[in-house]
Amino acid sequence: MPHVVIVGTQWGDEGKGKIVDVLSRHVAAVVRFQGGNNAGHTLVVDGKKLVLHLLPSGVLRDDCLCVIGNGVVVDPDVLLQEMDRLAATGLTLTPDRLRISQLAHVIMPYHLQLDRLREAALGKARIGTTCRGIGPTYEDKVARRGVRMADLVDPRRLAAAVERVLTEKNGAIAALGGEPLEAGKLVEAYAALGQRLAPFVGDTATELHRIHRGGHSILFEGAQGTFLDVDHGTYPFVTSSSTVAGGACAGAGVGPTILDEVVGIAKAYTTRVGSGTFPTEAQGEEEERLRATGGEFGATTGRPRRCGWFDAPLVRHAARLNGLTRLALTKLDVLSGLDEVPVCVAYEGVEADSFPADLTGVTPVFETMPGWAEDLTACRRLSELPGNALRYVQRVEELVGVPIELVSVGPGREDTILHGDLFTR
């Protein structure tokens, strides 16, 4: 299997975790390359549900190395809690199964405070952040005042890094009505976390190149979705990192020439968490039905997701931005039972090969397709889908312009139609 990047093509929550889990049996390593514990990747294996926030979704494969790349921002307390929860189920991660880049930046307590306080101060204009400290940590990274994993595992370097910035951070916290932090207690607590994580921290870029030279495959796991990208998303209601496929190189420490395939993950409908424009958002009973049937509540925050219909111009633009070679369509089963299924095929007055800088006020042009009543969860081939469900898949493929080679028809690993050489090899 080649080196593959997995990206979301909408506003996140597309089902990337399941697809990474399905493909991880073919690869030697799975790498998270951006974001932090604002991500929530859900795996369902043998009827058991596992939600991951920082650990890569290859964690259930014994022979798969999981790598947290330099582009990720790491909350060490959250990561250790996640590792401890896995250990309680009998899956203890060792340094030969999990590696953390020494260059990854650390989410510190002042980042968490500032995130919450700033969001509260915005009131009705709030972004809808998860308040996990992601944005403030990336701010410090770009401003060249961040704390990296290499600092966290060295108490003297950690103390120096905190001393450099804490006066300024405490001033900002106090100005927003928060409680300033004490340097000594902060360094003591985080040095202890660093010592627990130290065996896992190292030069992950070199390890990935070693895997590449050995002829083994790597899967690059993106978090969030294309339209939460800080450059290409629906700004300012975006995340603070590059969620598109190009971010895999910078966030993992590999060159673009080693990448072979980019697989986009799209829901058969559309969801969004938090604020921001959403042209195909459903209303009333339609939205409630999608939310209830699809279990559309945030894996990280528990917040109800906003739900709407498939937006072909959105996903088509994601295909361009990411250079998609394949598409995986998830949650097709959620649409079963609808008499009709609307699909946005265009934006009124917008050319098919262009995309607006701002989706506010955009009017979607809908095409209505006939629905189907049958349960899809037993389908394992495209030919087993009801006629209208198959036609829906084919129409989405036609509108996006990328071959659909995986269709998810349920939450479990086995509830998957694999079609095409990438997924069946």
Looking at per-residue pLDDT, the higher value among 420 and 160 belongs to 160
Handedness of CA 383, 385, 386, 387 (dihedral sign): negative
Start-end of CATH 3.40.440.10 domains in the chain? 4-101+200-261
Start-end of CATH 3.90.170.10 domains in the chain? 266-424
Overall average pLDDT of the 35-64 stretch: 82
Min mean pLDDT across 65-69, 89-93, 212-216, 318-322 is at 89-93
Q: Which CATH superfamily is domain 4-101+200-261 in?
A: Adenylosuccinate Synthetase, subunit A, domain 1 (3.40.440.10)
At 300 the pLDDT is 64
> Known catalytic residues?
13, 41
From the candidate CATH numbers 3.40.50.2000, 1.10.10.10, 3.90.170.10, 3.30.390.50, the one assigned to the domain spanning 266-424: 3.90.170.10
At 46 the pLDDT is 66
CA 339 to the chain's CA centroid: 32
Residue 222 pLDDT grade (very low, low, confident, very high; cuts 50, 70, 90): very high
Tokens at 125, concatenated: 């204009």
Beta strands in 257-335 (DSSP E): 261-267, 270-272, 306-308, 310-311, 326-330
Looking at per-residue pLDDT, the higher value among 43 and 214 belongs to 214
Taking each helix axis from N to C end, the angle separating 155-175 and 109-122, rounded to the nearest 10 degrees, works out to: 20
Overall average pLDDT of the 217-241 stretch: 95
Min mean pLDDT across 46-55, 111-120, 204-213, 330-339 is at 46-55
Overall average pLDDT of the 157-183 stretch: 96
Asked if the model's pLDDT at residue 1 lies above 90, the reply is no
Overall average pLDDT of the 30-56 stretch: 83
Q: In what order do the strands lie in the sheet with 98-101?
A: 201-202, 98-101, 65-68, 29-32, 218-221, 4-8, 261-267, 326-330, 404-408, 416-418
Beta strands in 167-217 (DSSP E): 201-202
Start-end of CATH 1.10.300.10 domains in the chain? 105-197
Query: DSSP readout, 203-255?
Result: -HHHHHHHHHHTT--EEEE--S-GGG-TTTSSTTSS-SS--STTHHHHHHT--
CA–CA gap between residue 38 and residue 48 (Å, rounded): 22
Asked if the model's pLDDT at residue 9 lies above 90, the reply is yes
Q: Which pLDDT tens digit goes with each residue over 332-381?
A: 999 999 999 999 999 999 998 899 999 999 999 999 999 999 999 999 99
Residue 418 is inside which H or E element, if any? strand 416-418
Overall average pLDDT of the 388-403 stretch: 98
Q: Give the whole-number percent of the chain exceeding pLDDT 70.
A: 96
3-state secondary structure of 398: helix
Q: Residue 35 pairs with which residues in a beta bridge?
A: 72
CA 216 to the chain's CA centroid: 24
Residue 425 pLDDT grade (very low, low, confident, very high; cuts 50, 70, 90): low
Residue 420 pLDDT grade (very low, low, confident, very high; cuts 50, 70, 90): confident
Residues across the chain: 425
CA–CA gap between residue 23 and residue 423 (Å, rounded): 7
Q: Give the whole-number percent of the chain exceeding pLDDT 90.
A: 81
Overall average pLDDT of the 212-230 stretch: 96
CA–CA gap between residue 97 and residue 62 (Å, rounded): 8
Domain 105-197 listed as CATH 1.10.300.10: yes
At 424 the pLDDT is 60
Overall average pLDDT of the 212-222 stretch: 96
Mean confidence (pLDDT) of the chain: 93
Asked if the model's pLDDT at residue 423 lies above 70, the reply is no
